Chains A and B, each alone.
Chain A
């Protein structure tokens, strides 16, 4: 247990002095700020137009959660999908380049301690990114009155999504010593996961795979999109929480197996 905190602490302090971390944080803050502002401005414009045209029905229906936060969370999801591989690419790959893999694997630590320490460091960094997103949604509370719990639920969705992406990225980093390869492998894996629901829907619609077939079921289960959308709408379902826990565990087990197999290569 002490090893886990030592490993996570060292990883974080190295991460926070690396250019990758600053580029990622800055890029995320800029993109979040841009999309947030765009959302708020277009909301303002819609409200103003509806008022001038006296669309009372529309004015009653329109709210900050649906019109601003929903699209904002949706965009942040995609931004995370592209940025998380950047922070996870070095987790294990850099140890191989530094020769410190030999230090770690000959130290009295278990592979699980190593994997969890690394994962926690990545998860803390991802939480910092989600915190930036939370900062912007916080601004909305000064400006209007979005539903508090619904907003929290959306942020939680974003956090869980990012944590599952860190697990995927950690795995990608464990299979190579090249950070660029680790980055693209993570990106490809995440894009595949992301597209599963779309592919399942398309396949069902096109008749290539039946809507109720096992394959389509599995694909839908593995896809995060429906679950994330539910959370953005404010529905926190234990089955969806279990899904994220499942994805994180699966990729951490893969990572552990991959790190362990380095001994046999």
Chain B
């Protein structure tokens, strides 16, 4: 490999934190995800929108390395998910659809454990756990047993385990599901804060949802997936300029109409 090729590789890796290329997932004859490609840049908050069963969770599970795709490849923070899985996984914080929780552990000891799994250096552990607790509003329940917390608090614990090691990439699968309106706005505020440029640049966030208002509240860009294929990839401002309401676009996408907006998907 020549030097020129190498440096152009690394420039590409720097500018995009998530690089999904032609990802497909088949379960037997059933295709859950088909040829999904997109990039997410530094500090971007991208809404991943689609009706139930569209393939959001499947796509996220592939991006986080939980399941392998049938076809396609992905890079996370410049690391190939399949040739450097450990480096790629170290760069990700993931909140699965149902928050991973050990009911018998205390909130704090759980976050300490996760920070060890994610290779956070020992010297930074205490500070990072304190910060995650504070950001998720968990400081006052840190010594409580997780199984005894309310659903809203357990969701926050799920979010805290995703951000505790301050990964450059966050993959959040329906982060506000099951929360009350006040909790929802707190979580949205938190996600917006994460993306704000800090010492390591803003964290890149991709969050799935089927709530349109959520995308409008915190995302600048939207990806719409329907029946496993990406049907729209657009900046919200671009939609607004063309006089399109997200709601209409989404309804048309869900009905299987192809949308002549934003980037032409799949080309």
Contacts and interface: CB of A to CB of B under 8 A. Distances in A.
Contact of B89 (A14, A18, A108): A108
A10 B99 CA distance: 18
A14 B100 contact: no
A261 to B, nearest CB: 11
A103 B114 contact: yes
Contacts of B90: 108
B100 to A, nearest CB: 4
A157 B96 CA distance: 44
Interface residue range, chain A:
20 to 34
Contact of B66 (A7, A14, A106): A106
Interface string B56-93: 00000100111110000000000000000111011010
9 contacts: A10-B102, A13-B109, A98-B101, A99-B99, A102-B61, A106-B89, A106-B94, A107-B118, A108-B85
B201 interface: no
A106 B113 contact: no
A142 interface: no
B143 interface: no
Q: Which 9 A-B pairs have the closest CB atoms?
A: A103-B100, A108-B90, A100-B100, A107-B117, A99-B100, A6-B116, A102-B96, A108-B86, A106-B64
A106 B38 CA distance: 21
Contacts of B117: 3, 6-7, 103-104, 107-109
A53 interface: no
Given A106-B94, A108-B89, A109-B117, A99 B101 contact: yes
A106 B105 CA distance: 20
A17 interface: yes
A263 interface: yes
Q: Is the interface of A mostly helix, strand, loop or mixed?
A: helix
A2 interface: yes
B119 A105 contact: no
Interface in B20-49: none
Interface of B: 61, 64-68, 85-87, 89-90, 92, 94, 96, 98-105, 109, 113-114, 116-119, 161
A7 B92 CA distance: 20
Given A13-B105, A106-B89, 12 more contacts: A14-B102, A98-B102, A99-B101, A101-B100, A103-B94, A103-B100, A103-B114, A105-B66, A106-B66, A109-B86, A109-B117, A264-B68
A109 B103 CA distance: 22
B104 A102 contact: no
The winner among A102, A104, A263 for most chain B CB atoms within 10 A is A102
Given A106-B64, A106-B66, A98 B100 contact: yes
A5 B92 CA distance: 22
Contacts of B96: 99, 102-103
Contacts of A264: 67-68
A158 to B, nearest CB: 29
B119 A17 contact: no
Contacts of A263: 66-68
Contacts of B104: 14, 17-18
A102 B94 contact: yes
A102 B68 contact: no
Contacts of A110: 86
B100 A102 contact: yes
A13 B105 CA distance: 9
A29 B68 CA distance: 46
Contacts of A102: 61, 66, 94, 96, 100
A110 B89 CA distance: 11
